[in-house]
């Protein structure tokens, strides 16, 4: 009989789940007494005790440092709180989309995912704990608020400290726990249920022909030492016949090989350079927990994530799943470019604009209003589960290649010719002092709420933009009427161009300010221009209006991640400046020069 112990604890005030769960440095979880235990107890306390004994929770993670310790704690705390059964991925490994898939398949009451997504791992990296509900999606704000409230007043937690499970072998382990019915822990193959789901969504015979038939294309998939290695090997290599060496970095590692498991042009630079040689027709990278993806064409042709979802939308009939279910609607997060809107308009489909965070898509899907959605942050997915899904996005693109028999670049260029092009970029100012970031946002909001701001004209170079709308994005969920305020400051100009500022909800230290720029171009003569050049005037205007540099002291120097271009400043290894950054620095030096000469 396993004993339950009640441990006295002190509440923490900083366990508010962010955009996607609680993300902190590993040291915060390790060094603060009962930190992880408190949060796990707070999650489980939100589950109605009446549901616990008959209920199952799915548990899995991206293999990062501290994951196995956290899983043992979840087992011990779940048992002591009367949860009937846990289903855990072998060795703790299970991608975020696979957890969502398994929750739905076995009708679990929810799941706990151990990941900090694309953030670096290892003892000095990040860790994260996220709660998903019975739909398979991230807990909505109502539940994350409840978790936070509980965590702020928690005085004790319940645990079975002697209970230990072997995560390495598949099968059932049953334990007799004081006062409760037997507690079952089932270790399952991490890949099988998810692979089975994909077989139902895509035409595997056509994909096999594309990847290993006589006229096959060559692909390179980079799992970035995250959770996706076993999935890519099993599904793309073993089942669809792509050669074993077409998948790289496939062994999950606790520190992701010392890299950021972040599929963008900066952190997946090895993939970009491998693609440049022209040996591969299609390339993709995944993040630590397998929900994000980056798609590249031959010679490293980059598909912007906002474009990626638009292309999938425009070619949705290439995917058998949608032939069966039909297409109910499309959605994107507010900062994501309007490329998907153009597709929705042309195809006469409803389009939803939600706040950042995959959880906002879930209600629309559950209500049968949404089939396909995507975000600028390299997330693409559909209503087959309630998480974004990296490998699903890759198979969606491969299905389009199989149908259209064109290159990635040609498909993208045809798309722009037909729908016009949204030039889009995002800049991240990481680890900014929180007070300075909040002051900057407050200052910008005050500027924007001045009546004179509407209609005001701003010029940079030969471009002039007139403000048509300025607000702090607010979302009313069309299904349950819940309102989410303060979701990002938007300045929308009369030509539809947008400047957006918001604070990230996924950083683990200080504040991260994100600046997004979106500008639409319909003129076929202009759609192939360099996005950095096209967007430079708007970046300049954004920095002027916000006074970001002056108010945060961040002059495009430390920690700035030019997400869609080469890493600008702030990288230890790569000091390539993008054109916008150079432009900005020149402007700064010019202003310093003016200031200096005035002072003299």
Catalytic residues: 117
- Give the three-state DSSP class for 6: strand
CA distance 260 to 60: 20
Q: Which long-range contacts (CB under 8 A, 24 or more apart) does 45-54 make?
A: 45/81, 45/150, 46/131, 46/139, 46/143, 46/146, 46/147, 46/150, 47/83, 47/109, 47/110, 49/82, 51/109, 52/81, 52/82, 52/83, 52/84, 52/109, 53/82, 53/83, 53/84, 53/180, 53/181, 54/84
Kindly list the distances between the CA atom of residue 383 and the CA atoms of 101, 155, 209, 318, in Å, as whole numbers in the listed order.
11, 39, 26, 16
Residue placing its CB nearer to ligand G16 in the complex, 364 or 534: 364
Q: Are 293 and 390 in contact (CB under 8 A)?
A: yes
Quickly list DSSP for 266-333.
TTTHHHHHHHHTS--SEEEEE-TTS-BEEEEEGGG-EE-HHHHHHHHHHTGGGSHHHHHH----EEEE
- Binding status of residue 120 toward ligand G16 by CB under 6 A: no
Which listed residue (203, 281, 291, 341) binds ligand G16 by CB under 6 A?
291
- Give me the least distance between CB of 19 and ligand G16, in Å please: 4
Residue placing its CB nearer to ligand G16 in the complex, 308 or 356: 356
CA distance 596 to 581: 22
- Give me the least distance between CB of 444 and ligand G16, in Å please: 17
- Give residues 498-537 in contact with ligand G16 (rule: CB under 6 A): 504-506, 514
Q: Which residues contact 40 (CB under 8 A, 6 or more apart)?
A: 70, 73, 74, 77, 112, 129, 157
- Give the three-state DSSP class for 451: helix
The interface region with ligand G16, picked from 102-110, 184-192, 371-379, 527-535 by CB under 6 A, is: 371-379
- Give me the least distance between CB of 54 and ligand G16, in Å please: 30
Which helix (H) or strand (E) covers residue 486, if one does? none
Beta strands in 21-117 (DSSP E): 22-25, 56-61, 85-93, 110-114
Which listed residue (41, 90, 117, 253) binds ligand G16 by CB under 6 A?
117
The interface region with ligand G16, picked from 44-52, 155-163, 373-381, 574-582 by CB under 6 A, is: 373-381
Residue placing its CB nearer to ligand G16 in the complex, 304 or 333: 333
- Give me the least distance between CB of 294 and ligand G16, in Å please: 12
Which listed residue (358, 458, 473, 493) binds ligand G16 by CB under 6 A?
358
- Give me the least distance between CB of 121 and ligand G16, in Å please: 13
CB burial of residue 249 (10 Å; 0-12, 13-18, 19+) = buried
Kindly list the distances between the CA atom of residue 40 and the CA atoms of 80, 102, 436, in Å, as whole numbers in the listed order.
12, 20, 32
- Binding status of residue 546 toward ligand G16 by CB under 6 A: no
| Tokens coding 201 | 């969504």
- Give the three-state DSSP class for 92: strand
- Binding status of residue 357 toward ligand G16 by CB under 6 A: yes
List the alpha helices (DSSP H) in 315-433: 320-325, 339-346, 359-366, 390-404, 408-419
- Give me the least distance between CB of 418 and ligand G16, in Å please: 27
Q: Are 130 and 18 in contact (CB under 8 A)?
A: no
- Give me the least distance between CB of 255 and ligand G16, in Å please: 18
Q: Are 320 and 202 in contact (CB under 8 A)?
A: yes
- Binding status of residue 20 toward ligand G16 by CB under 6 A: yes
- Give me the least distance between CB of 78 and ligand G16, in Å please: 23
CA distance 414 to 331: 22
- Binding status of residue 19 toward ligand G16 by CB under 6 A: yes
Which listed residue (15, 246, 342, 377) binds ligand G16 by CB under 6 A?
377
- Binding status of residue 375 toward ligand G16 by CB under 6 A: yes
Helices (H) and strands (E) in the chain, counts: 20, 27
Residue placing its CB nearer to ligand G16 in the complex, 137 or 297: 137
Residue placing its CB nearer to ligand G16 in the complex, 4 or 432: 432
- Binding status of residue 484 toward ligand G16 by CB under 6 A: no
Kindly list the distances between the CA atom of residue 28 and the CA atoms of 22, 31, 35, 124, in Å, as whole numbers in the listed order.
11, 6, 7, 10
CA distance 77 to 60: 16
Residue placing its CB nearer to ligand G16 in the complex, 100 or 356: 356
Q: Which residues contact 217 (CB under 8 A, 6 or more apart)?
A: 210, 211, 281, 282, 401
Residues facing 331 on adjacent strands: 352, 373
- Binding status of residue 379 toward ligand G16 by CB under 6 A: yes
Which listed residue (34, 234, 292, 415) binds ligand G16 by CB under 6 A?
292
- Give the three-state DSSP class for 26: helix
Q: What angle do CA 527, 285, 198 make, to 5 degrees?
A: 100
The interface region with ligand G16, picked from 34-42, 76-84, 271-279, 372-380 by CB under 6 A, is: 372-380
- Binding status of residue 249 toward ligand G16 by CB under 6 A: no
Q: Which residues contact 406 (CB under 8 A, 6 or more apart)?
A: 414
Residue placing its CB nearer to ligand G16 in the complex, 23 or 158: 23
The interface region with ligand G16, picked from 263-271, 356-364, 418-426, 580-588 by CB under 6 A, is: 356-364
Residue placing its CB nearer to ligand G16 in the complex, 194 or 465: 194
Which listed residue (46, 193, 342, 356) binds ligand G16 by CB under 6 A?
356
- Give me the least distance between CB of 128 and ligand G16, in Å please: 8
Per-residue binding letters, 71-110, with ligand G16 (x by CB under 6 A): ----------------------------------------
- Binding status of residue 304 toward ligand G16 by CB under 6 A: no
- Give me the least distance between CB of 523 and ligand G16, in Å please: 30
Residue placing its CB nearer to ligand G16 in the complex, 89 or 357: 357
Per-residue binding letters, 315-334, with ligand G16 (x by CB under 6 A): ------------------x-
Residue placing its CB nearer to ligand G16 in the complex, 79 or 99: 99
- Give me the least distance between CB of 239 and ligand G16, in Å please: 26
Site for ligand G16 (CB under 6 A): how many residues?
18
Residues facing 424 on adjacent strands: 518
- Binding status of residue 389 toward ligand G16 by CB under 6 A: no
Residue placing its CB nearer to ligand G16 in the complex, 40 or 116: 116
Residues near ligand G16, by CB under 6 A: 19-20, 117-118, 287, 291-292, 333, 356-358, 375, 377, 379, 504-506, 514
């Amino acid at each position: 009989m396993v004993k339950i112990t009640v441990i006295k604890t002190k509440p923490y005030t900083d366990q508010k789940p962010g955009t996607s769960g609680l993300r902190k440095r590993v040291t915060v979880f390790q060094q603060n007494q009962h930190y992880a235990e408190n949060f796990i107890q707070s999650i489980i306390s939100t589950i109605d005790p009446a549901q616990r004994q008959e209920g199952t929770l799915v548990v899995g993670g991206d293999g990062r440092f501290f994951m196995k310790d956290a899983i043992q704690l979840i087992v011990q705390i779940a048992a002591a709180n009367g949860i009937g059964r846990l289903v855990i991925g072998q060795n703790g490994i299970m991608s975020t989309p696979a957890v969502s898939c398994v929750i739905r398949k076995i009708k679990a009451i929810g799941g706990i995912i151990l990941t900090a997504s694309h953030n670096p791992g290892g003892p000095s990296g990040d860790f994260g704990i996220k709660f998903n509900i019975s739909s398979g999606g991230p807990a909505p704000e109502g539940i994350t608020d409840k978790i936070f409230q509980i965590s702020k007043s928690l005085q004790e937690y319940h645990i079975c400290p002697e209970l230990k499970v072997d995560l390495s072998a598949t099968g059932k382990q049953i334990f007799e726990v004081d006062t409760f019915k037997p507690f079952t822990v089932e270790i399952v193959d991490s890949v099988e249920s998810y692979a089975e789901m994909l077989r139902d969504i895509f035409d595997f015979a056509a994909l096999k022909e594309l990847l290993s038939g006589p006229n096959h294309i060559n692909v390179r998939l980079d799992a970035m030492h995250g959770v996706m290695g076993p999935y890519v090997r099993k599904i793309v290599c073993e089942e669809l016949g792509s050669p074993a060496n077409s998948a790289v970095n496939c062994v999950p590692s606790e520190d992701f090989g010392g890299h950021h498991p972040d599929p963008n042009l900066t952190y997946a630079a090895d993939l970009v350079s491998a693609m440049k040689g022209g040996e591969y027709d299609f390339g993709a990278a995944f993040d630590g927990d397998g929900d994000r993806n980056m798609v590249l064409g031959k010679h490293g042709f980059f598909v912007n994530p906002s474009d990626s979802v638009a292309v999938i939308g425009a070619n949705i009939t290439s995917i058998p799943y949608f032939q069966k279910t039909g297409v109910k609607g499309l959605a994107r997060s507010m900062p994501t470019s309007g490329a998907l809107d153009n597709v929705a308009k042309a195809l006469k489909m409803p389009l939803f604009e939600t706040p950042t965070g995959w959880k906002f898509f879930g209600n629309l899907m559950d209500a049968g209003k949404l089939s396909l959605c995507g975000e600028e942050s390299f997330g693409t997915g559909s209503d087959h589960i309630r998480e974004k899904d990296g490998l699903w996005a890759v198979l969606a693109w491969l299905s389009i290649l199989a149908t259209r028999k064109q290159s990635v670049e040609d498909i993208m260029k045809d798309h722009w010719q037909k729908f016009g092009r949204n030039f889009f970029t995002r800049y991240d100012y990481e680890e900014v002092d929180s007070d300075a970031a909040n002051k900057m946002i407050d200052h910008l909001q005050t500027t924007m709420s001045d009546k004179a701001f509407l209609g005001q004209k701003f010029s940079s170079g030969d471009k002039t933009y007139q403000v048509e709308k300025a607000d702090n994005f607010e979302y009313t969920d069309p299904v349950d009427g819940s309102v989410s305020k303060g979701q990002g400051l938007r300045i929308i100009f009369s030509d539809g161009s947008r400047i957006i500022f918001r604070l990230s909800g996924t950083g683990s230290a200080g504040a991260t300010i994100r600046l997004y720029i979106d500008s639409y171009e319909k003129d076929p003569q202009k759609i192939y221009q360099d996005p950095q050049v096209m967007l430079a005037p708007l970046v300049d205007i954004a920095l002027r209006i916000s006074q970001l540099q002056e108010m945060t002291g961040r002059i495009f120097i430390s920690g700035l991640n030019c997400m869609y271009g080469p890493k600008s400043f702030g990288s230890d290894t790569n000091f390539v400046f993008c054109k916008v950054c150079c432009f900005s620095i020149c402007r700064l030096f010019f202003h310093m020069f003016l200031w200096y000469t005035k002072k003299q």
